[in-house]
Amino acid sequence: MNKFANFFERHRMGLALAIIAMSAICAVGVAQLEFEDQPRGIFRTDDHSFRQLEEVFGQFGTDELNCMVLVESEELFAVSELTALQSLTADLKDVVGVKEILSIADSRLLILKPLPHPLLPNFALLPVEIAQRQAEIARQEALAHPLVAGRLLTADARKTLMIVRLSGGELTIDNLQPVVGAIREVLDEANQTGTLRARMTGLPSIRVDVFTVIQRDYRLLLWLGAAMAFSMALLIFRQLSAALIVFLASMMGV
């Protein structure tokens, strides 16, 4: 034991310089560390199967950019509710970063008989009586439509799904956060001003939530660990300098 103590005593300056050099190297290394926040990037390989998967994603798209919005109402096909749904769809389309929206309010969703027409007309432009009649017709046509019933609309016609697709390719968390935040603001406003109830899920929303929780918990645990280390070091060593050394090491995540 005395050999080690004597060695440290004789080479204090050299050991201090070595520690400073290693700390500098570690600081440079930590600054270059990156966290892969794109799920596809974590599993990316050069084999044929992954290239085929990326080719399919390139041709048909991927669900990594789809936000799923569930809209509920006791009377979804009431004129006022359909008008609110169309207004919500328009507001979501105006969000920067939203590419397209698939919903029962989509003008591309056509009914072919007797003549091609969108499932939902613009109810804001129709007289009251005509709007009420068209709302009931739209309900019947939606429940009979093979791409709507059981997919975008529940059997009781009280819940409908909106698929909000974001623009861009493999988006990072920094790209997703403002878009997801803006979509949530639109949904919160719709929930507060009307009788529609809208909730969102999907990979973009989940990724943002997970990373937000990770960042929050990391900071909390870092400060908690540092406080506990400082308290224990102060209790054991009874010297402020020794306690500060332990505290700073904890703050650096060591």
Write down the pLDDT at residue 223. Answer: 80
Position 159 pLDDT exceeds 70: yes
Residue 115 lies in a domain: yes
Instruction: Domain of residue 128: give its range.
Output: 62-202
CA distances from 26 to 17, 189, 235 (A): 14, 47, 29
Can you tell me the distance from the alpha carbon of 43 to that of 227, in angstroms, rounded to the nearest whole number? 38
Structural domain tally of the chain? Answer: 1
Mind listing the pLDDT tens digit for each residue in 207-223?
A: 899 888 888 887 788 78
- CB of 142 within 8 A of CB of 136? no
State which of 69-73, 141-145, 247-251 shows the largest mean pLDDT. Answer: 69-73
Residue 213 lies in a domain: no
Q: Which of 99, 75, 95 is nearest to 85 (CA)?
A: 75
Average pLDDT estimate for 52-77: 85
Residue 231 lies in a domain: no
